[in-house]
Amino acid sequence: MNYLVIVIGAILVNNIVLMQFLGICPFLGVSKKVSTGIGMTGAVAFVMILATIVTYLIQHYILDKFGLGFLQTIAFILIIASLVQMVEIILKKVSPPLYQALGIFLPLITTNCAILGVAILTIQKEFNLTESVIFAISHAIGFGLALILFSGIREHLDLQDVPKGLKGTPIALIAAGILAMAFMGFSGLV
């Protein structure tokens, strides 16, 4: 039951992009086509889950143990940066087709605040390891849901006759606002 609350809360109620404003850069940057949206979601999900597990272990077995809590931000961002680099190298060797699909998105992920945000949130909420992993997976799904919905909307927006000043980013932001309004309807669920 507890797990279900985490899943629904993360995907629908507190959607990471539309409600918590994490990962807006890729949300606006790579949402012009549904296919790139799917690629980005895959890369983010992969790194997010991996990063949450590693940062969880580092926080509990190294930082807490030696009283180094104040180094959290520095330690986490270094872990994420090196993790992204490592994933990139391994993927290139092991699975070239997957690397082809995710490759261009991987370097962008280091500065994706969704990854660091979820890693810090799991520590703040004092989850155990299983809960953290579920939390990360559901946030990744939530990110993917928002991104894919939004890129679908943007593909349609390209074909519409948008007023002059609103073309491009402004209309995309307004569409995102309306999407966020739709997601507010879920707010009573949990």
Partner 1 sequence: MSQLKNFSKGFIKENPVFVLLLGMCPTLGVTSSAINGLGMGLATTFVLLMSNIVVSLVKKGIPDKVRIPAFIVIIATFVTVVELTMQAYLPSLFKSLGLFIPLIVVNCLVLGRAEAFASKNNVLSSMVDGLGMGLGFTFALVTLGGIREVLGSGKFFDLTIYPENYVTLVFVLSPGAFIVLGYLIAALNLIKKND
Smallest gap from Cβ 14 to partner 1, in A, equals 10
- Please tell me whether residue 20 binds partner 1 under the rule CB under 8 A: yes
Q: Which of 9, 23, 37, 144 binds partner 1 (CB under 8 A)?
A: 23
- 95 phi/psi in degrees, rounded to 5: -135, 80
| Piece in contact with partner 1 (CB under 8 A), picked from 33-41, 52-60, 70-78, 137-145 | 70-78
Cα 127 versus chain centre, distance: 18
Is the separation of the CB atoms in 76 and 50 below 8 Å?
no
Smallest gap from Cβ 163 to partner 1, in A, equals 8
The most distant pair of C-alpha atoms in the chain lies apart, rounded to whole Å, by: 60
Residue 159: burial class (beta carbons within 10 Å; 0-12, 13-18, 19+): exposed
| Count of residues interacting with partner 1 (CB under 8 A) | 43
Q: Which of 7, 10, 11, 18 binds partner 1 (CB under 8 A)?
A: 18
CA distance 128 to 14: 20
What token pair was written down for 29?
């940057």
- Please tell me whether residue 176 binds partner 1 under the rule CB under 8 A: yes
Q: Which of residues 28-57 bind partner 1 (CB under 8 A)?
A: 28
- Please tell me whether residue 129 binds partner 1 under the rule CB under 8 A: no
What token pair was written down for 180?
């966020």
| Piece in contact with partner 1 (CB under 8 A), picked from 20-28, 32-40, 88-96, 130-138 | 20-28
Q: Is 112 helix (H, G, I), strand (E, B) or coil?
A: coil
41 vs 122, beta carbon nearer partner 1: 122
| Piece in contact with partner 1 (CB under 8 A), picked from 33-41, 74-82, 90-98, 153-161 | 74-82
4 vs 174, beta carbon nearer partner 1: 174
If you count them, how many residues does the chain have?
Answer: 190
What token pair was written down for 130?
């299983």
Is the separation of the CB atoms in 102 and 42 below 8 Å?
yes
Chain contacts with partner 1 (rule: CB under 8 A): 18-25, 28, 70-74, 77-78, 81-82, 110-113, 116-117, 120-121, 124, 164-167, 169-174, 176-178, 180-181, 184
